[in-house]
Structure 1
Amino acid sequence: MTFSILAAAKTATPKTAPAPADANNPLDDLRYWWDSSVAWVESHWLQIGIAIGVGLIIYFLLSMIRTFALKRAQSAPGQFTLTDIVGRVIHKTKSLVLAIISIRLVAGYAQPPALILHLIQFVFTIAVVMQVAIWAREIVLGLIQRRAAEGHNETLSNAMGIIRLLISVALFAVAAIVILDNMGVNVTGLVAGLGIGGIAIGLAAQGIFSDLFASLSIIFDRPFRVGETIKYDTSIATVERIGLKSTHLRSINGELLVISNTNLLSKEITNYANLHRRRVQFAIGVVYQTTPDMLRALPALLKTQVEAEKHEFIRSSFIGFGASSLDFELVADIHSDDYNEVIAARTEIGIRLFEEMTRLGYDFAYPTQTTFTAAPDGTMILPYAESVTMKTPRPAKS
Structure 2
Amino acid sequence: MLNNTAAAAEQAADNTTDAVEAQTRAFFADSVAWFEGHWLQILIAAGIAVAIVLFLYTLRRWGMRLCERAEGPAGWGTILGRAVSRTGNFFIVMVAAKLVAGYAAPPEMIVKTIDFLFTVSAVFQAAIWAREVILGAIEKKTESENYHGEALLSALGLIRLLVTVALFAIALVVVLDNLGVNVTGLVAGLGVGGIAIGLAAQGIFADLFAALAIIFDKPFRRGDKVMYDQTVGVVEEIGLKSTRVRSFDGEVRIISNKQLLDKEIQNISNRDHIRIRLPIGVAYETPPEQLEALPAMLTGIVEKAGGQVARASYEGLGASSVDFALWFDIPGDDWPTAHKVRDNVIIGVLRRFADEGISIPFPTQTTYTADPQGKLIKPYPDVQTVMRVDKDAGER
What is the TM-score of this pair, normalised by structure 2? Answer: 0.82
Pairing 1:295–2:291 present:
yes
Q: 1:267 aligns with which of 263, 273, 280?
A: 263
Task: Please tell me whether the aligned partners of residues 316 and 329 of structure 1 are also in contact (alpha carbons under 8 angstroms).
Answer: yes
Give 2:117's match in structure 1, choosing from 119, 123, 136. 123
2:71 counterpart letter in structure 1: P
SS in structure 1 at match of 2:143: helix
In the TM superposition, what is the alpha-carbon distance from 1:270 to its structure 2 partner?
2.1
Counterpart residue number, 1:335: 331
- What residue is the counterpart of 1:309 in the other structure? 305
* Higher alpha-carbon deviation: 367-376 or 307-316: 367-376
Tell me what 2:173 maps to. 177
Give CA-to-partner distance per residue, 1:195-227, whole Å, 9 cap, x none: 011111111111111111111112212222333
**Which range moved further: 98-107 or 73-82?**
73-82
Superposed, 1:221-236 pairs within 5 Å as 221-236=217-232
Measure the CA separation in 1 of the matches of 2:284 and 2:205.
64
8 Å CA contact 2:310, 2:328 repeated in 1: yes
- 344, 348, 353: which one aligns with 2:340: 344
Does the CA contact (< 8 Å) of 2:282 and 2:360 recur in 1? Answer: yes
> Within 1, Cα distance between the matches of 2:72 and 2:278?
51
The structure-2 alpha-carbon separation of the partners of 1:153 and 1:38, relative to structure 1 and needing over 3 Å to count, comes to: same
Q: Distance in 1 between matches of 2:200 and 2:103?
A: 55
Shift of 1:289: 1.8
- The correspondence for 1:80, drawn from 66, 74, 84, is 74
Could you say if the C-alpha distance between residues 103 and 362 of structure 1 is closer, same or farther in structure 2, counting changes exceeding 3 Å? same
Distance 1:370 1:264 in 2: 49
Given candidates 205, 212, 215, the residue that maps to 1:219 is: 215
Matched, 1:50 2:34: no
Task: Look up the equivalent residue of 1:325 and give its one-letter code.
Answer: S
What is the CA-CA distance between 1:256 and the residue it aligns to?
3.7
Query: CA–CA distance in 1 between the matches of 2:376 and 2:216?
Result: 80
Equivalent-residue separation in structure 2 for 1:326 and 1:257 (angstroms): 41
* Percentage identity across paired residues of the two chains: 46
Once the two structures are superposed, the pairs formed by residues 46-195 of structure 1 within 5 Å of their partners are: 46-78=40-72, 80-150=74-144, 151-154=146-149, 155-195=151-191
- Which one is further off, 192-201 or 54-63? 54-63
Cα RMSD of the aligned pairs, angstroms, is 2.9
CA distance in 2, matches of 1:329, 1:165: 58
2:25 pairs with one of 26, 31, 45: 31
Could you tell me which runs of 5 or more consecutive residues in structure 2 were left unpaired when the two chains were aligned.
1-15, 370-374, 384-396
* C-alpha displacement of 1:362: 2.2
2:363 matched residue in structure 1: 367
Query: In structure 2, what is the Cα distance between the partners aligned to 1:104 and 1:309?
Result: 80
Q: CA deviation at 1:112?
A: 1.3
Corresponding residue for 2:391?
none
Deviation at 1:381, TM superposition (A): 6.4
Q: For residues 334 and 113 of structure 1, what CA distance do their matches in structure 2 show? A: 84
- Residues 282-326 of structure 1 show CA distances to partners (whole Å, capped at 9, x for unaligned) of 111111222212111111222222233342211111221122211
Provide structure 1 residue ranges, at least 5 long, that are not aligned to the other structure: 1-21, 383-398
1:308 and 1:256 mapped to 2: Cα distance?
A: 37
Aligned residues of 2:147 and 2:222 also touching (Cα < 8 A): no
User: Equivalent residue for 1:13?
Assistant: none
Q: CA deviation at 1:105?
A: 0.9
Q: Encode CA deviations 1:159-203: one digit per residue, 9 max, x unaligned.
A: 333322222111111111111111111111111110011111111
CA distance change for structure 1 residues 47 and 348 in 2, over 3 Å: closer, same or farther?
same
1:359 corresponds to which letter in structure 2? D
Deviation for aligned residue 1:124: 0.9
Q: Is 1:244 the equivalent of 2:214?
A: no
Deviation (angstroms), 1:140 = 2.2
The answer as to whether partners of 1:104 and 1:121 remain within 8 angstroms in 2 is yes
* Change beyond 3 A, Cα 1:115–1:339: same
Paired residues of 2:63 and 2:85 also in contact (CA < 8 A): no
Name the amino acid aligned to 1:139. V
The residue identity in structure 2 corresponding to 1:249 is V
SS of 1:25's equivalent? Answer: helix
Question: 1:17 is matched with which residue?
Answer: none
Kept in 2, the 8 Å contact 1:141–1:164? The answer is yes
Aligned equivalents of 1:58, 1:29: Cα separation in 2: 32
In 2, the alpha carbon distance for the partners of 1:232 and 1:79 equals 31
Q: Please give the per-residue CA displacement for 1:342-361, whole angstroms capped at 9, x wherever unaligned.
A: 11111112222222233233
Letter in 2 for 1:51: A
> Offset of 1:88 from its aligned partner?
2.1
Whole-angstrom CA distance in 1 between matches of 2:264 and 2:70 = 42
Change (3 A) 1:114 1:362: same
Normalising to structure 1: TM-score of the pair? 0.82
SS in 2 for 1:227: coil
- Assess, with a 3 A threshold, how the Cα gap between structure 1 residues 68 and 255 changes in structure 2: closer, same or farther: closer
SS at match of 2:349: helix
Quick one: distance in 1 between partners of 2:170 and 2:377? 102
